[in-house]
Amino acid sequence: MNRVLVTTDYLRPGDEVDEYLRSAGLETVHAPLLGRRDPGQLVAALDRIDAALVAATEPLTAEVLARAPRLRVVVRTGVGYDSIDVAAAARLGISVSNLPGVNANAVAEYTLGLLLAGARRLVQSASGVAQGKWPREDGHELRGSTLGLIGYGASARAVVPLAQAFGMTVLCTTGVPSGDPGVRFVELPELLSTSDYVSVHTSLTERTRGLLNAQAFQLMKPTALLVNTARGAIVDEDALAAAVRDGEISGAVLDVVGEEPLPADSPLRGIDGIVVFSHLAGQTAEARRAAGLRGAEELVAALAGRARFVVNGEK
């Protein structure tokens, strides 16, 4: 019987995903990722495991994969897979799959929520009231402003009609522009210099790592707000902290950071205008259910040699 490791934190023994996997003749082992897990712990969890349904930040490095000789299939219950060494997996004959678009609507709605929270300084207002104050600073309306999208995958495309409903003009920079008549596709410098809000939706690659650095922030408007629901490492956090502190941009609302949970010594802490949330963009009940079930289906298909969303080539 094939053994499946499940590390996604919202999947539990006895839930419908577990029942689906067991009905397919698989034995499940649950080891939810809560916070950080060192490589030794992960290697131990992968002992005698044939397939894994894994969380976003599970560090499946080349060293870890090499010490899991039975592992043949890895499925991410989401879109990003930058925590997995997909090249090493390919060399070892391990198929790696993701679930494109599975939480696009959840991320899009959340993005608009972050835009509103940042524009109206909602977190700062609520924090002030909790401290016994009564802050009455003004904010900004989204209507009439320009939103710049970095990347144009499923979540960014889902943002477009929501932003347009608020009366925003939408720009986008991407390596694969589409024919969307509601979006103007521009190069990154133009997007940064003309957008009132910049929202990150691109994947983390060597090209995009540190893409938003000191030079990028210097191009942005001093009134601009950065929103990131993609991957923390796309943003140079030291440069961002300096840019907000020095007034180069007005602030940032981040759902993702370079190291999660946010370290106590992070440069992002203690800066008025920077708000960090706990990687919640895709975490709705609806998106979680879809990701769990679609992930289980992909895992079963991959074990049978019929994977649909392999990201590291044919095995």
Among residues 3, 260, 289, 297, which one is catalytic? 260
Catalytic residue among 30, 72, 121, 231: 231
Q: How far is CA 144 from CA 152, 169, 197, 233, in A?
A: 22, 7, 12, 31
Give the 3-state secondary structure of the chain: CCEEEECCCCCCCCCHHHHHHHHCCCEEEECCCCCCCCHHHHHHHCCCCCEEEECCCCCECHHHHHCCCCCCEEEECCCCCCCECHHHHHHCCCEEECCCCCCHHHHHHHHHHHHHHHHHCHHHHHHHHHCCCCCCCCCCCCCCCEEEEECCCHHHHHHHHHHHHCCCEEEEECCCCCCCCCCEECCHHHHHHHCCEEEECCCCCCCCCCCECHHHHHHCCCCCEEEECCCHHHECHHHHHHHHHCCCCCEEEECCCCCCCCCCCCCCCCCCCEEECCCCCCCCHHHHHHHHHHHHHHHHHHHCCCCCCECCCCC
Please confirm, yes or no, whether 19 is among the known catalytic residues.
no
Pairing of strands 51-54, 73-76: parallel
72, 140, 279, 294: the catalytic one is 279
| Tokens linked to 292 | 């769990």
**Residue 288 known to be catalytic:** no
Position 260, amino acid: E
Q: Is 140 a catalytic residue?
A: no
Catalogue the active-site residues: 231, 260, 279
